[in-house]
């Protein structure tokens, strides 16, 4: 194995990058950076039937948004390129031929229809030691027939696995793993009709030529690893074989099966980093468009299967690099808890300086044609950030900071609650007291307003419940929200007066 630590994230551009793939990219990045190594992005586009043209750009954009910048890749370049497998097409035939020449592979000419017919008769059919001598391949046909069929280009190259051999390898997460070759297929390595390798050959050749030291990938690739181990041996690269680590699955929110894109609609949550819309299919909303910032997404994903020392949960990307240990990744699947993801988003909002939130909030409101000062929005952010999960929710949750309340609309939506808590208790005496409030809401700070209101209530033998719920509703049109005195101080005397008068007119009209 190479002394230099080099890890690659190697997605296939067959659609949107699943959040499980993002976690794989993150763990590769964390491991590489922790070890002072190189993080590589390689696009594995050998599956041309499932290829989606816009998927590669999506992958690059998602990694850029998250801050997982590759050191080498299609965009970044590097001395081991090209980093897109379709651009490396000429490389793979040489190694397929090497396997053929050394007797570790053979040509096969069976059609898809022929193999499908066999599988119907033999449900557990494997193209391997027990069946290959009964099929149409270079092991059973004459040299003349083989030459003619190869010349036509209508062939595949299959690996020649031993009839029965225990294949053993070490996994950094799972320990010693054992497979027997009798349970394996002679997998296709190269397709003559397309002049393209399959995933298995291209993956091994590229990892070797790019000097990959560690392969960190999803659990679904574990059954393919013994085949890859054999390819390293057959190609004479056993000494350069990378270390393997197979990550646990990300499970559905209820823990019953692997998280899929269908779960986005079923559980009303994102499963992709960014919005993705494929022609003829419905758009699926991504984490970014839900309102997440990159940092909480990375923090949430890092803890889906990895357990750092102690009970700490909040990490920056730099702190994740420092703390990450691949051997502390769990073998068992990790349940995708979207409420926990939302919690992370909220915690990051709370920890972010109000000034920073105000700048982003100003951009959001500006796009809606609304203009507010940073000082005003800084105060709004401070009052709302513990009441929302996403910054994008602030203009909705705190709409009363940007427009006077619509009491009629609230009555239509919450008639029972409003009548019970406000209108039923609205009397001529309360209206007389309430009419005096504007002159008490003129101080520029919350403390001054609180002092004035408290003195007024004491003078009139009132409790907080006798007045403040009405004041809150008058100013905000809702029965919940931030401190009412802070709200009044920010809105200012003139706006407070206008809202109180509008509220009184509304109550009198009911």
Provide the annotated binding site for ATP.
Answer: 261
At 169, is the secondary structure helix, strand, or coil?
strand
Helix (H) or strand (E) holding 149: helix 143-152
The backbone torsions φ and ψ at residue 8, rounded to the nearest 5 degrees and listed phi first, read -125, 140
- How many angstroms from the chain centroid is the CA of residue 243? 26
DSSP state of 408: H
Let me know: does 436 contact 470? Beta carbons within 8 Å.
no
| Rounded Cα distance, 269 and 343, in Å | 14
- Is 261 one of the annotated active-site residues of the chain? yes
Distance CA 421, CA 416 (A): 9
Q: Indicate which residue of 34, 211, 261, 425 is catalytic.
A: 261
Q: Is 209 within 8 Å of 6 (Cβ atoms)?
A: no
Alpha helices in 308-406 (DSSP H): 317-323, 338-351, 354-367, 374-384, 394-397
Task: From 106, 11, 93, 101, select the one nearest 59 (Cα to Cα).
Answer: 11
Those residues whose C-beta lies under 8 Å from the C-beta of residue 286, and which sit 6 or more positions away, are 16, 270, 272, 273, 274, 275, 276
Enumerate the active-site residues: 261
């Amino acid at each position: 194995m190479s002394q230099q630590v080099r890890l690659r994230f190697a997605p296939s551009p067959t659609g949107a990058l699943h959040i499980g793939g993002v976690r794989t990219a993150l763990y590769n990045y964390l491991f590489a950076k922790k070890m002072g190594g190189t993080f590589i992005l390689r696009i594995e586009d050998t599956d041309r039937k499932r290829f989606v043209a816009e998927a590669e750009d999506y992958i690059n954009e998602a990694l850029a948004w998250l801050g997982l910048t590759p050191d080498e890749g299609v965009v970044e370049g590097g001395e081991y390129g090209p980093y897109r497998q379709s651009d490396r097409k000429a490389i793979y035939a040489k190694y397929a031929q090497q396997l053929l020449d050394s007797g570790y592979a053979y040509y096969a000419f069976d059609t898809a229809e022929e193999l499908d017919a066999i599988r119907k008769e033999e449900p557990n059919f494997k193209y391997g030691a027990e069946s290959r001598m009964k099929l149409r391949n270079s092991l059973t046909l004459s040299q003349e027939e083989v030459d003619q069929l190869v010349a036509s280009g209508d062939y595949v190259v299959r690996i020649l696995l031993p009839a029965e051999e225990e294949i053993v390898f070490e996994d950094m997460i799972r320990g010693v793993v054992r497979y027997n070759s009798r349970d394996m297929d002679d997998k296709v390595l190269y397709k003559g009709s397309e002049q393209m390798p399959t995933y298995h050959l291209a993956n091994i050749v590229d990892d070797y030529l790019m000097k990959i030291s560690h392969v960190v990938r999803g659990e679904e690739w574990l059954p393919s690893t013994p085949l890859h181990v054999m390819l390293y041996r057959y190609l004479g690269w056993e000494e350069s074989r990378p270390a393997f680590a197979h990550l646990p699955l990300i499970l559905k929110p209820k823990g019953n099966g692997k998280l899929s894109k269908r779960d986005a609609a079923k559980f009303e949550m994102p499963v992709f980093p960014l919005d993705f819309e494929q022609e003829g299919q419905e758009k699926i909303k991504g984490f970014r468009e839900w309102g997440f910032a990159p940092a909480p997404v990375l923090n949430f994903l890092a803890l889906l299967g990895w357990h750092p020392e102690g009970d700490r949960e909040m990490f920056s990307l730099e702190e994740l690099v420092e703390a990450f240990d691949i051997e502390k990744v769990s073998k068992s699947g990790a349940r995708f808890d979207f409420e926990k993801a939302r919690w992370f988003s909220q915690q990051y909002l709370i920890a972010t300086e109000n000034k920073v939130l105000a700048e982003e909030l100003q951009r959001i409101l500006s796009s809606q044609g609304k203009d507010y000062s940073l000082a005003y929005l800084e105060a709004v952010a401070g009052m709302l950030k513990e009441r929302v999960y996403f910054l994008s929710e602030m203009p909705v949750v705190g709409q009363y900071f940007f427009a006077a309340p619509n009491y009629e609309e609230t009555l239509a939506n919450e008639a029972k609650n409003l009548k019970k808590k406000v209108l039923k208790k609205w009397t001529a005496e309360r209206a007389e007291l309430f009419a005096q409030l504007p002159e008490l809401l003129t101080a520029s700070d919350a403390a001054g307003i609180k002092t004035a209101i408290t003195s007024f209530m004491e003078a009139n033998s009132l409790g907080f419940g006798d007045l403040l719920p009405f004041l809150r509703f008058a100013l905000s049109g809702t029965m919940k929200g931030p401190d009412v005195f802070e709200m009044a101080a920010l809105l200012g005397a003139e706006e407070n007066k206008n809202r109180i008068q509008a509220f009184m007119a509304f109550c009198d009209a009911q």
